[in-house]
Amino acid sequence: MVFSSNVFLLYFLPLFLICYFICPKKFRNYVILLFSIVFYAYGAPDFILYLLGSTVANFYLVKMMRKTEKPGLKKLHCALAIIVSLGLLVYYKYANFLIDNINALIGIFGANAIRMAKVLLPIGISFFTFQSITYVIDTYRGNNEPMEKLTDYIVYIMMFPQLIAGPIVRYCDIEGEIRHREYSAQEFLQGFNRFVIGLSKKVLIADVIGFQVDQLLAGDLSIMDSGTAWITIAAYTMQLYFDFAGYSDMAIGIGKIMGFHFPENFDNPYNSASITEFWRRWHMTLGAFMRNYLYIPLGGNRCSKRRMYFNLWVVFLLSGLWHGASWNFVIWGAYHGLWLVLERMGLKKFYEAIGKAPSVIITFIIAMVGWAIFRIEDLNQAFTFIGRLFAFDFSTFSISADAQFYTTLIVALLFSFIALFPFGKKLQDAVFYEEHTLTGTVILWVIAIFMLLFCLGALNAAGFSPFIYFRF
């Protein structure tokens, strides 16, 4: 089940909200638990027992870890809990990739290929695995006490708004809200508005652009002119952002309606003046995870420059691999790691010298080239496409797209960069975060309901379209 589907919008969500708010507060976690199980089982019934089983195992391993007084035994329980989560992730997500590469390697020497049935990937495994790991490590470090009730822990891991594609929520961020939540009409409105904004990003921008992107990339990339190539990658850059940021907005919005305050996942990433800044603004919860649980334990920047550069490379190679079991994701991670190292070696000073506007443009171009590697799984095709970007061949420029595509792309670009200007940032903050007068509240309600109906109409016309990050 996806947020941008009639089943979710017309049946699941209204029924959930009715049951949630008519139930006494002490039973609302059980409502979340029941509906979350149904939500996951609807799309992946074969894996619901796996998800529940791994969750229960982690819960009791952490409880045993906190009860023991022996440091060695405590460390062992912590390691076992992490191994359970990572072991299952490695098996389900990377087994096919490892076997394929081993077979390719041994095939050089004429050996027989290893035969193994294809392993199916559970939806959202990367997100709920990382969320489990944050709970294990934070409890081990003493940042929070372990939960007493198994049902509360299952609610934390399986809560349907962020179960499939994040944001990655640390337990310490919502510890109090798991047990007790405050509700208000203003919070409900803000949550509803945020949900509709996210739905609009997905349905009215990402899906419209994405259809044309798929058409363009399905052709012969070797003969694509540079103009078409740049428009194609600019369109995919917008599609990916509005698709994933749209999902995050919807998750945060539903969470706020329920009384939870999930962390932000995006902060105008294309307004960044360096790749370092870009990764502080893009998929912020994944960035925080990589920093707190990998980069800092490796030594972070509290070490020699050589070691710091190595740490950055490791983090971004693994970040690339986290996105998918394919070499293009590994190369994409290495690509971003390279730019981060170069910025620490002196490139940042160049950005400071030329000013913010040119730096933003350069960073945006670097990000777009990276998204070409991210999007095109076949590396030969990816590098062919990048070659066409920089061939400066505009002789045959022609895209047989309708006006809707170009209009939507222009709107997407405007929305992506509007926060660079003071009025744009002020407008954005007013829509997303500020409380409103009675008149402002009524206006926002009317706009949100109108946009919801418009999105429903667009969905009926376009059909099913899953979120891009579901595959990760």
Percent of the chain with pLDDT over 90: 46
The model carries a pTM of: 0.91
Q: What is the pLDDT of residues 299-343, one digit of tens each?
A: 888 888 888 889 998 899 999 988 888 999 999 999 999 999 999
Buried b (16+ CB within 10 A) or exposed e, 36-51: bbebbbebbeebbeeb
Residue 328 to residue 76: CA distance in whole angstroms? 35
323 carries an active-site annotation: yes
CA-based end-to-end distance of the chain = 16
pLDDT recorded at residue 389 = 92
Residue 150 to residue 56: CA distance in whole angstroms? 7
- Nearest 5°: CA angle at 136, between 132 and 137? 120
Residue 245 to residue 240: CA distance in whole angstroms? 8
Given 261, 323, 336, 436, which residue is catalytic?
323
Band of the pLDDT at 388, cuts 50, 70, 90?
Answer: very high
In angstroms, how far is CA 2 from the centroid of its own chain? 14
Q: What is the 3-class SS of the chain, one letter each residue?
A: CCCCCHHHHHHHHHHHHHHHHHCCHHHHHHHHHHHHHHHHHHHCHHHHHHHHHHHHHHHHHHHHHHHCCCHHHHHHHHHHHHHHHHHHHHHHHHHHHHHHHHHHHHHCCCCCCCCCCCCCCCCCHHHHHHHHHHHHHHHHHCCCCCCCCHHHHHHHHHCHHHHCCCCCCCHHHHHHHHHCCCCCHHHHHHHHHHHHHHHHHHHHHHHHHHHHHHHHHCCCHHHCCHHHHHHHHHHHHHHHHHHHHHHHHHHHHHHHHHCCCCCCCCCCHHHCCCHHHHHHHCCHHHHHHHHHHHHCCCCCCCCCHHHHHHHHHHHHHHHHHHHCCCHHHHHHHHHHHHHHHHHHHHHHHHHHHHCHHHHHHHHHHHHHHHHHHHHCCCHHHHHHHHHHHCCCCCCCCCCCCCHHHHHHHHHHHHHHHHHHCHHHHHHHHHHHCCCCCHHHHHHHHHHHHHHHHHHHHHHHHHCCCCCHHHHC
Q: What is the pLDDT of residues 117-150, one digit of tens each?
A: 787 778 888 888 899 999 999 999 888 888 889 9
User: Residue 390: what residue type?
Assistant: F
* 12-27 mean pLDDT: 94
Query: Would the pLDDT of 113 be above 90?
Result: no
Residue 179 to residue 260: CA distance in whole angstroms? 11
> Based on the number of CB atoms within 10 Å of its own CB, is 348 exposed (0-12), middle (13-18) or buried (19 or more)?
middle
Q: Which two tokens stand for residue 461?
A: 């016309």
State the chain's mean pLDDT as an integer.
88
> Based on the number of CB atoms within 10 Å of its own CB, is 206 exposed (0-12), middle (13-18) or buried (19 or more)?
buried
Q: What is the pLDDT of residues 248-288, one digit of tens each?
A: 999 999 999 999 999 999 999 999 999 999 999 999 999 99
